[in-house]
Amino acid sequence: MPTLLLVDGSSYLYRAFHALPDLRNARGEPTGAAYGVINMLRRLLGDYKADRLACVFDAKGKTFRDDLYPEYKSNRPPMPEDLRAQIDPIHACVRALGWPLLCVEGVEADDVIGTLAQQAAAGGYDVVISTGDKDMAQLVTPRVRLVNTMSNEVLDEAGVLAKFGVPPDRIVDYLALVGDAVDNVPGVEKCGPKTAVKWLTEYGSLDGVVENAQAIKGVVGDNLRRHLDFLSLGRQLVTIETACELPMKFDELTPRELDRSALVGLYERLEFKTWLREQRAALENGGAAPAVEEEAPAAEAEVVASAPGVHREGYETILSETLLEEWLALIDEVDITAFDTETDSLEPMRARVVGLSFCVADGRAAYLPLAHRYPDAPDQLPLDATLARLRPWLESDEHLKVGQNLKYDMHVLANHGIRLGGVAHDTMLQSFVLESDKGQDLDQLAKRHTGLTGTLSYTDVCGKGAAQIGFEEVDVQRATDYSAEDADVTLRVHEVLLPRLAREPQLTKLYAEIEMPVVQVLFEMERNGILVDRDRLIAQSDMLGRRMLEIEAEAHGLAKQPFNLNSPKQIQEILFEREKLPVLKKTPSGTPSTDEEVLQQLALDYPLPKLLLEYRQFAKLKSTYTDKLPKAINPQTGRVHTSFSQIGAVTGRLSSSEPNLQNIPVRTEEGRRIRTAFIAPAGSKIVSADYSQIELRIMAHLSGDERLLQAFAQGEDVHRATAGEVFSVHPLEVTSEQRRYAKTINFGLIYGMSAHGLARALDLERGAAQAYIDRYFARYPGVHRYMDETRMLAREKGYVETVFGRRLWLPDIRASQVGRRQAAERAAINAPMQGTAADIVKLAMRAVRDWLLQERLATRLLLQVHDELVLEVPEAELALVQEALPRLMAGVAELKVPLLAEVGVGMNWEEAH
């Protein structure tokens, strides 16, 4: 999706001013805030590619909140003079850096940002808001997320809930209760974050808290009742306005080119010497100025200054047989060649070659155009004959290649019947192994690891939006600049990252023995695809559609009038205005919420919300799966070919896309029915092999707890064993309810669940939940010790590791803000288990694939979903595969407890699972 990037400039000002030392130029003028703001803006644009952007500052003068409450912000001291003196140069730098700058009178920067965010989200954009202001959490939606540049914290809906204890649509209520000392908005005295979360969880919303104020005991209850008259005004004051009149719409906020001449003057005055050299070098070299600049780490600042861009003088366009022969001789001689393809599509199974690029040394690269079609395009070498000429080198395992995401290039060549051999290195995976918490696209790697700036992007050569052209329409010279540069940059990044990996033996092993071999396995799985019964999906879609119509008729009957079941506004009117159902919570704009959580609570007592929930469930299944999956079937193969990404999660777990086959719901009958459409061809069966309780087994290994190790070693039901320990009964006497409690505790604790969370999950008083946790740790002291030691090591190193040495970075582990630090501590405990499980599954995929090749079987590996492998097995090979899979999967790692894989067989995925 296109992205709108919004910066809370006023937040940046103060944070930079207070965070940095008292920097001054030779004239004694303060420069620290300016340095911090510029640095954060540069860094932000290195991490987020934005189609639209703006930096928003507070305007001078009063706002509508001052009229509502004259004491609003009255306790704030005046802006320090050293900060005030930097405002004008900061604004000038922001504009010179290409950022549209907004200051709107009568409202705050928050309101401008809220309005633009809502506009953009409604217009189909993803929105990233860079701020340190907690009030902004109320703006988070599936389309809007926050990023804190200083702490690297990113907050989506789940992140807001984890940090504050309430979801984004309750943040306003939360702030009204706790108050805001900075803005002089009184909250309820002695109502801190924990109390506010408790009340909102119990009563659903601020209105619910007010309605039940008489039931709240103690001093804080008395304080609440004294404060009731102010709460409505307090909520108004902390609510960000999202319908301001602005001088421009979000889609007018186009990034501008850098004004390098202006930046030179500003940096001279501010005496930012490294950045000044960078701008002067760019002007002297006459290179095209990019719309944005990315920040290099401080250690690389001098590299950036001395190497402002890629020099393309050494790039050649191969249009003759003579030059092709020269390049064939070059790539035949070198130890490794950087290789890239340009294509007519981004879909791996359908993309066809438009051209190829090669690089043999820094700055020595070539582009071989083969299928450019536009008026006056030069004569090019014939596609098929040239690929045939290149086939021996392309398929050679002795001629090593390095690329960026080479799995895609493997698909492209396979579409032409060519197997890419010699796949030795992938810069995307090298960087992911070294720093999984950072972006992995080539532009980011170039800037971060080589200091190269001014590289061409795809949109630079093809355009964007409705005006975008296919690569086959790009001018051949422009295509050479872009594609040869990609190969050149890839080789340079490889030359930096490979020595870095070599200094880390564990990471080298992870890269060489897990990540790189898995590329081939995933490539084959993606080519295999999985057979899908189109007619069954269409029938399911029809059935869901009929059931939705029936539910619609029932809902209209209950409401005694027709209404649109897809319209939150109409549902709101029916439920809360006509039916007078209780309002459990409100949206940030103050209207009654109709989200899923509200409907679930109302459905316990009222039939209409229950019908609405059922309708939404069926609508999601229909739109996301039964309608879309038939369209995803490849017409040539009759199969669905998902794409697997190795960099989709920092823990190393694989992710699936186009279509996503890892999130097909299995908790409802209708969801499970979708899996019945994934079938085996005649004469074969679907086989599912799933690791049993793998993360609990890894916890036993990591913690070394004797009781936990013993339970797994003896093949006990670990949940029953835990129930026996926690409830002090013999395992044979454990009830199903006690086992359920134990299962929740087992899985909850490894995900960092608190007593509050466990109480909610089990519908218990918090004290009872805490008692269960205390008893669990008393019985499993090794687990408690592991958690304490892991938190300590994480704070010391800044990361945790899997059993195989994968590093999982935790930027918030030393954060002063308690919520962020606790979230990082929970991640520190769980990430080694998730990451180790991901590594084990990848090893299993490799082991199974290698065994299938060794045995020369026709069985094919199709999917990997969480801890499960899905295969298509000819019936003649079924017994052999069923016997081998548990052994192969259990044998990929030696832990202190045995690994166990369970195998199921069926005509479709659901039967096998």
Consecutive H or E run containing 12:
helix 9-19
Report pLDDT digits (tens) over 24-71: 888 889 998 898 899 888 878 877 888 999 999 999 888 888 888 888
Where in 472-562 does DSSP place strands (E)? Answer: 530-531
Say if residue 309's pLDDT is above 70.
no
Q: Where are the alpha helices (DSSP H) in 728-871?
A: 736-750, 755-762, 766-779, 781-797, 818-854
Contact status, residue 675 vs residue 862, Cβ threshold 8 Å? no
Q: How far is CA 89 from the centre of its chain?
A: 35
User: Tell me, what's the pLDDT at 78?
Assistant: 82
Percent of the chain with pLDDT strictly greater than 70: 96
Q: Decide if 639 is inside a domain.
A: no
648 and 512 co-located in one domain: yes
573 and 688 co-located in one domain: no
497 and 509 co-located in one domain: no
Q: How far is CA 264 from the centre of its chain?
A: 37
Global pTM value: 0.66
73 and 129 co-located in one domain: yes
Distances (CA, A) of 211 to 206, 214, 328, 374: 9, 8, 80, 70
Residue 236 belongs to domain with CATH number: 3.40.50.1010
Query: How would residue 313 be classed by pLDDT, with cut points 50, 70 and 90?
Result: low
Dihedral sign for Cα 862, 868, 874, 876, please: positive
Return the ∠ at Cα 259 (arms to 296 and 38), rounded to 5°: 40
Q: Decide if 784 is inside a domain.
A: no
CA distance 295 to 47: 9
User: Tell me, what's the pLDDT at 273?
Assistant: 83
Query: How would residue 289 be classed by pLDDT, with cut points 50, 70 and 90?
Result: very low
Q: Decide if 638 is inside a domain.
A: no
Query: How would residue 133 be classed by pLDDT, with cut points 50, 70 and 90?
Result: confident
> Angle of helix 9-19 relative to helix 109-122, nearest 10 degrees?
130
Q: Decide if 871 is inside a domain.
A: yes
Say if residue 275's pLDDT is above 70.
yes
Report pLDDT digits (tens) over 827-862: 899 899 999 999 999 999 999 999 999 999 999 999
Q: Decide if 788 is inside a domain.
A: no
Query: How would residue 656 be classed by pLDDT, with cut points 50, 70 and 90?
Result: very high
When mean pLDDT is compared across 403-407, 415-419, 745-749, the lowest value belongs to: 745-749
Say if residue 287's pLDDT is above 50.
no
Contact status, residue 193 vs residue 178, Cβ threshold 8 Å? yes
When mean pLDDT is compared across 10-19, 256-265, 369-378, 536-545, the lowest value belongs to: 10-19
One-letter identity of residue 869: L
Considering only CA atoms, which of 626, 711, 613, 691 is closest in space to residue 665? Answer: 626
Contact status, residue 178 vs residue 196, Cβ threshold 8 Å? yes
| Domain's final residue, options 609, 632, 655 | 632
User: Tell me, what's the pLDDT at 293?
Assistant: 38
684 and 749 co-located in one domain: no
Contact status, residue 262 vs residue 92, Cβ threshold 8 Å? yes
494 and 510 co-located in one domain: no
88 and 134 co-located in one domain: yes
Residue 907 belongs to domain with CATH number: 3.30.70.370
Considering only CA atoms, which of 166, 261, 645 is closest in space to residue 429? Answer: 645
DSSP 3-state of 280: helix
Burial of 715 (0-12, 13-18, 19+ CB in 10 A): exposed
248 and 160 co-located in one domain: yes
Q: How confident is the model over 583-602, as a mean pLDDT?
A: 85
For 753, what's the count of Cα atoms within 13 Å in the CB-facing half-sphere?
A: 22
Q: Decide if 457 is inside a domain.
A: yes
Report pLDDT digits (tens) over 167-176: 999 999 999 9
Residue 466 or 700, more confident: 700
Q: How confident is the model over 285-293, as a mean pLDDT?
A: 46
User: Tell me, what's the pLDDT at 150?
Assistant: 62
CA distance 518 to 503: 23
Range of the domain at 570: 543-632
222 and 144 co-located in one domain: yes
> Angle of helix 171-178 relative to helix 193-203, nearest 10 degrees?
130
Residue 342 belongs to domain with CATH number: 3.30.420.10
- b/e per residue 326-364 (b: at least 16 CB within 10 A): ebbebbeebebbbbbbbbbeeebbbbebbbbbbbbeebb
CA distance 90 to 428: 36
244 and 135 co-located in one domain: yes
Average pLDDT for the chain: 89
Residue 5 or 817, more confident: 5
Return the ∠ at Cα 705 (arms to 699 and 711), rounded to 5°: 85
Say if residue 307's pLDDT is above 60.
no
Q: How confident is the model over 395-405, as a mean pLDDT?
A: 96
Q: Decide if 628 is inside a domain.
A: yes
Contact status, residue 889 vs residue 901, Cβ threshold 8 Å? yes
Return the ∠ at Cα 331 (arms to 326 and 336), rounded to 5°: 160
Say if residue 338's pLDDT is above 70.
yes
Token pair in block for residue 527? 């080519």
List of residues 6+ apart from 898 with CB closer than 8 A: 697, 712, 713, 890
Report pLDDT digits (tens) over 677-727: 999 999 999 999 999 999 999 999 999 999 999 989 988 888 888 888 888
User: Tell me, what's the pLDDT at 456?
Assistant: 87
Please tell me the total count of domains within the chain: 6
152 and 203 co-located in one domain: yes
Peptide bond into 898 cis (omega under 30): no
Q: Decide if 785 is inside a domain.
A: no
Query: How would residue 310 be classed by pLDDT, with cut points 50, 70 and 90?
Result: low
92 and 134 co-located in one domain: yes
Query: How would residue 662 be classed by pLDDT, with cut points 50, 70 and 90?
Result: confident
Across the strands, what pairs with 295? none
User: Tell me, what's the pLDDT at 286?
Assistant: 66
CA distance 109 to 8: 7
Considering only CA atoms, which of 377, 375, 351, 406 is closest in space to residue 480? Answer: 377
Distances (CA, A) of 77 to 83, 238, 338, 786: 13, 20, 58, 47
Dihedral sign for Cα 394, 396, 397, 401, please: negative
Say if residue 594's pLDDT is above 70.
yes
* Residue tagged 């010790």 (tokens): 785
| Domain's final residue, options 587, 608, 632 | 632
User: Tell me, what's the pLDDT at 421?
Assistant: 97
Distances (CA, A) of 82 to 15, 255, 265, 389, 879: 14, 30, 21, 68, 78
* Residue tagged 């993309």 (tokens): 351
CA distance 864 to 873: 15
CA distance 707 to 651: 28
Per-residue H/E/C for 332-369 = HHCCEEEEEEEECCCCCCCCCEEEEEEEEECCEEEEEE
| Domain's final residue, options 207, 231, 252 | 252
